[in-house]
Structure 1
Amino acid sequence: MSAPPSERARVKRYNQIADYDPQTIHAILDAMPLCHVGYVFNGSPFVTPTLQWRDGDMIFWHGSAASRMLESAECQEVCVTVSLYDGLVMARSAYNYNINHRSVMIFGKPAKLSDEEKLVQLRNMVNKTIPGQWERLRPVKPQELKATTVLGMKITEASAKVRFGQPDDDDDADFPVWAGIIPVRYEIGRPEANPKNPLGVELPADTALFKIG
């Protein structure tokens, strides 16, 4: 297992499930597009959910140019988290109840992208969700690009937690209550067409590649 990149990234509680390997961290980021960005605005802490995507050793997220989250986060310390809930771990005691999960925590100072960089990363965002979708969309208008901010941050100070398996309650193994795991899965539902779609416009076949988990 790799060493923690910094003291604040070092996992202290449940350090037996810590993982600092970039491949593990990248795999979790790629599996879950939803992230939460923690930042300070006017002296108060906020945590904002938003869409994230990875390109190499960088993580990106976007929003309105007027967003207080993006305004506050630029060039200031933030904490970005991504989590996947894989199962409920039902132990024989409340103390040992747990969840199987994969999570990542990243610290750093994001930077605002230029218009040229924004276009590249917005394309990556769309095509990482549905391959080839950017090329099918109406081209971005200049005012839309101006109204959108994209922040990028190098993934250098990060840690992952990966918990799987049965309850840690061997001392209670003889207690007469059911123990085990209830798996949790993310399900992609059947696409629902917009009723305003022009006649003859069909769902792209490669949309079936969309997945989470």
Structure 2
Amino acid sequence: MPATPTDGAAERTDGATYARTPRTTPTRYRDRATWEQEAIHAILDSAYICHLGFVADGAPVVLPTIFARVGSRLYVHGSTGSRPLRGASGDQGMPVCVTVTQVDALVLTKSAFNHSVNFRSVVAHGTAHQVTDPQELDVALAALVDHAVPGRSGAVRPANAKELAATAVIRLELDEVSAKIRADGADDDPEDADLPYWSGLIPVTTVHGAPVPYDESVPLPAHLRGYPR
């Protein structure tokens, strides 16, 4: 679950959908797109790895990293020495594109052309800024830890000054964002219906195993009981 929003990052109350823009309106399969906040937030909250895209030295760069949603903001983790964090440190911020994808099934059809994937994805555009306010940074760092393992941030040693100096977080407001979802079956062409080839779905799931301790003297904490999520 996302952490409690800070001031200015509260859940949007001005409508049930995000505004459509040319960048968030797909040119193909528009029927799979949605701008509904509930659907977008659900996809974001079900994942903790995103891909952060930006331009560095005139060339596109895409980096995988962890993220967390707090209200209508995304917090993306990085190092103070990384290119995206340096680019987002100024007042002007840095144009970015953040994507999140969850794969739900491989779709196999009787023809090679019609094979597909069932998925849920979110694409967010905007200008990212480095988080410098100490209070907001505390919220962001706790959210990044708790997003993957709820309750974890309160059950570990807090980061010290040296660790905080090496850690940076960028913030992206969820203003220009959309989701795309495919949850269909195998779409065989009518002329392929009688062909002797198998078609159907192969479900894809992410499985979290039971916690494996490295220090047997420490009992399993309450926030890990019942894990995986």
Deviation string 1:90-142 (CA, Å, 9 cap, x unpaired) is 01111110000101110000111123211111112222322322122112212
- The residue that corresponds to 1:201 in the other structure is 218
Greater Cα offset, 183-192 or 130-139: 130-139
- The residue that corresponds to 1:173 in the other structure is 193
Q: Name the TM-score, length of structure 2 as normaliser.
A: 0.85
Q: Report 1:8-157 matches (<5 A).
A: 8-73=23-88, 75-114=93-132, 115-157=134-176
Identity of aligned residues (%): 38
- The residue that corresponds to 2:12 in the other structure is none
Cα distance in 2, alignment partners of residues 157 and 163 from structure 1: 21
Deviation string 1:49-99 (CA, Å, 9 cap, x unpaired) is 000100011111111100112223551211100001111100111111000
Q: Name the TM-score, length of structure 1 as normaliser.
A: 0.91
Cα distance in 1, alignment partners of residues 160 and 17 from structure 2: 44
Cα distance in 2, alignment partners of residues 143 and 152 from structure 1: 22
Aligned residue pairs total 208
Note the residue ranges of structure 1 that are not aligned, 5 or more in a row.
none
CA contact (8 A) 1:39 1:72 kept: no
Assess, with a 3 A threshold, how the Cα gap between structure 1 residues 73 and 13 changes in structure 2: closer, same or farther: farther
CA contact (8 A) 2:88 2:130 kept: no
Cα distance in 1, alignment partners of residues 27 and 52 from structure 2: 21
- The residue that corresponds to 2:182 in the other structure is 163
CA deviation after TM superposition for structure 1 residue 170, in Å: 3.9
Greater Cα offset, 110-119 or 70-79: 70-79
Note the residue ranges of structure 2 that are not aligned, 5 or more in a row.
1-15
CA contact (8 A) 1:129 1:210 kept: no
Cα distance in 2, alignment partners of residues 131 and 158 from structure 1: 25
Cα distance in 1, alignment partners of residues 144 and 171 from structure 2: 12
CA contact (8 A) 1:17 1:162 kept: yes
Matching residue's letter, 2:177: A
Cα distance in 1, alignment partners of residues 154 and 103 from structure 2: 33
Q: Secondary structure at the match of 1:50?
A: strand
CA deviation after TM superposition for structure 1 residue 7, in Å: 0.3
Assess, with a 3 A threshold, how the Cα gap between structure 1 residues 116 and 15 changes in structure 2: closer, same or farther: same
CA deviation after TM superposition for structure 1 residue 169, in Å: 2.1
1:184 aligns with 2:225: no
CA contact (8 A) 2:18 2:177 kept: no
Cα distance in 2, alignment partners of residues 137 and 80 from structure 1: 29
Greater Cα offset, 181-190 or 161-170: 161-170
Assess, with a 3 A threshold, how the Cα gap between structure 1 residues 188 and 153 changes in structure 2: closer, same or farther: same
Q: Secondary structure at the match of 1:165?
A: coil
